Amino acid sequence: MKKILCVAGTRPEAIKMAPVILSLKKESWADVVVLATAQHREMLDQVLSIFGIVSDFDLDIMQEGQELTDLTARLLVAVDKVLKNEAPDIVLAQGDTTTVMTTSLACFYNKIPFGHVEAGLRTGDISNPFPEEMNRVVAGHLAALHFAPTESARENLLRENIDDTIVHVTGNTVIDALLVTARKDFDLGIELDESRKLILVTSHRRENFGEPMRESFAALRDLAERNSDVEILYPVHPNPNVTGPAREILGGHSRIHLVEPLGYPEFVQAMKQAYLIISDSGGVQEEAPALGKPVLVLREETERPEAVQAGVVRLVGTDKSLIISEAEKLLNDSHYYSSMAQGVSPYGDGKAAERIVSILRKYLAEMVNNAAC
């Protein structure tokens, strides 16, 4: 048996690690240990329970309004302790959060191989997204195995002189999770007027906090006021830097629904029902194209260029007039809308976890052979 420690700290990590954890659990050679750092508390629990995953360790790290240095320091010490006690053969983590960066560093210090799921995403700009670009560069340079979702992610790693033989293009596990979840319909439990066009919104990026986020919220309010056939659904991220301005600028409007974060099946349902999505989320940029929904991205740069190149995702930043004009073009120009609602998915075919498991099996078997030589 090989001990594989799978780490998840935040909502998107849990969504994207769930297919890997569930696939590994079916393998007789794999002893799967799940470490929840709980960098997110409620939002992590929400996802783990939907996928029926029970963590073996829970670090309960989250504090309200946590700051990066403190979060990093506490995570590094706590993850290190688990690694020392568990001595896994390999550790897996997904993405670019502080949980992932500290996990890769703790693995390096303990000389334990680290496998990076969703490896190789880059904007090339250390401040955008902040601090995620730095987090994934660190994790990328410490990884023994890279599971790149796309060919262009692989090329990013090769440009950083990562050895080609340890980089594998697998697709993104988010598509595995999405395809399974989207098969069924779920009740949103929110009263929406079906005769109106639904705009689904998410927003949480640190680099947008303050004025940029306020400006994008002002654009959403104006959009609702200028277009009586539109309804906005916004599950608000619980970060106090988001909830405050969201309530202040978007609250009290009859066609703007500010709700708590939705469970993953309900959010997928909301994406299916949406006419248009406006978001700064990484995961949503991958999921929405697969569901044929246009996305306006509230960011200046993206590490996910494939959907932009395919013409189904558009970067609008946080400029109020650009957000309004692009959204209204999609609301009013059916040809333009159709060109962005193609249902293409450059991020995977739903079999990424299967590929990751088979690569891991080979890697761990070779580790034993090499040790025996």
The reply to whether 122 sits near ligand UD1 by the rule CB under 6 A is no
Residue 204 among the catalytic residues? yes
Q: Is 132 a catalytic residue?
A: yes
Size of interface with ligand UDP, in residues (CB under 6 A): 16
Query: Looking at 6, 62, 91, 177, which residue binds ligand UD1 (CB under 6 A)?
Result: 62
Q: Of the candidates 2, 168, 204, 255, which one interacts with ligand UDP according to CB under 6 A?
A: 204
Q: Are strands 230-235 and 256-259 parallel, antiparallel or unpaired?
A: parallel
Of 42, 56, 151, 206, the active-site residue reads: 206
Total residues in contact with ligand UD1, by rule CB under 6 A: 24
Q: Is 245 in the site for ligand UD1 (CB under 6 A)?
A: no
Give all strands of the β-sheet with 256-259 in edge-to-edge order: 256-259, 230-235, 197-202, 276-279, 295-297, 313-315
* Cis omega (within 30 of 0) for bond into 212: no
User: Per CB under 6 A, does 314 bind ligand UD1?
Assistant: no
Task: Check: CB of residue 23 under 8 Å from CB of residue 92.
Answer: no
Q: How far is the CB of 46 from ligand UD1 (least distance, A)?
A: 8
Between CA 20 and CA 93 the distance in angstroms is 10
Question: Which residues from 156-215 bind ligand UD1, rule CB under 6 A?
Answer: 204
Catalytic residue among 13, 40, 89, 118: 118
3-state secondary structure (DSSP) of residue 54: coil
Does position 213 interact with ligand UDP (CB under 6 A)? The reply is no
128 binds ligand UD1 (CB under 6 A): no
Who contacts 179 (Cβ-Cβ below 8 Å, separation ≥6)?
Answer: 290, 350
Bridge partner residues of 279 (DSSP): 202, 297
The residue annotated as part of the active site, out of 13, 96, 215, 280, is: 96
| Active-site annotation holds for 301 | no
> Does 140 sit near ligand UDP (CB under 6 A)?
no
Instruction: Identify whether 146 is a catalytic site residue.
Output: no
**277 and 271 Cβ atoms separated by less than 8 Å:** yes
Stretch that binds ligand UDP, among 22-30, 248-256, 276-284, 322-330 (CB under 6 A): 276-284
- Candidates 51-59, 102-110, 275-283, 319-327: pick the segment binding ligand UDP (CB under 6 A): 275-283
Cβ–Cβ under 8 Å, residues 221 and 250: yes
Residues 225-244 that bind ligand UD1 (CB under 6 A): 238-240
Q: Are 245 and 170 in contact (CB under 8 A)?
A: no
Q: Which stretch binds ligand UD1 (CB under 6 A): 9-17, 50-58, 245-253, 305-313?
A: 9-17
Cis peptide before 129 (omega within 30 of 0): yes
Look at the block and give the residue holding tokens 């400006």: 215
CA distance linking residue 131 with residue 55, whole number of Å: 26
Q: According to CB under 6 A, which one of 131, 261, 289, 317 is a site residue for ligand UDP?
A: 261
Distance of alpha carbon 359 from the chain centroid = 22
Query: Cα–chain-centroid distance for residue 235?
Result: 15
Q: Which two tokens stand for residue 118?
A: 């969703």
Catalytic residue among 13, 74, 122, 132: 132
What minimum distance in Å lies between the beta carbon of 254 and ligand UD1? 27
Q: Which does 284 bind (CB under 5 to 8 A by kind): ligand UDP, ligand UD1, none?
A: ligand UDP
The set of residues, in sequence order, having a beta carbon less than 8 Å from that of 97 and lying 6+ positions away, is 9, 10, 12, 13, 39, 132, 135
Answer with the entry of ligand UDP, ligand UD1, none that 131 interacts with (C-beta below 5 to 8 A by kind).
ligand UD1
Instruction: Report the residue number whose CB is nearest to ligand UD1.
Output: 97
Is 12 an interacting residue with respect to ligand UDP (CB under 6 A)?
Answer: yes
Neighbours of 367 (CB within 10 A): 15
- Residues labelled catalytic: 96, 118, 132, 204, 206, 237
| Residues at the site binding ligand UD1, with contacts judged by CB under 6 A | 10-12, 39-43, 62-66, 68, 71, 96-98, 131-132, 204, 238-240
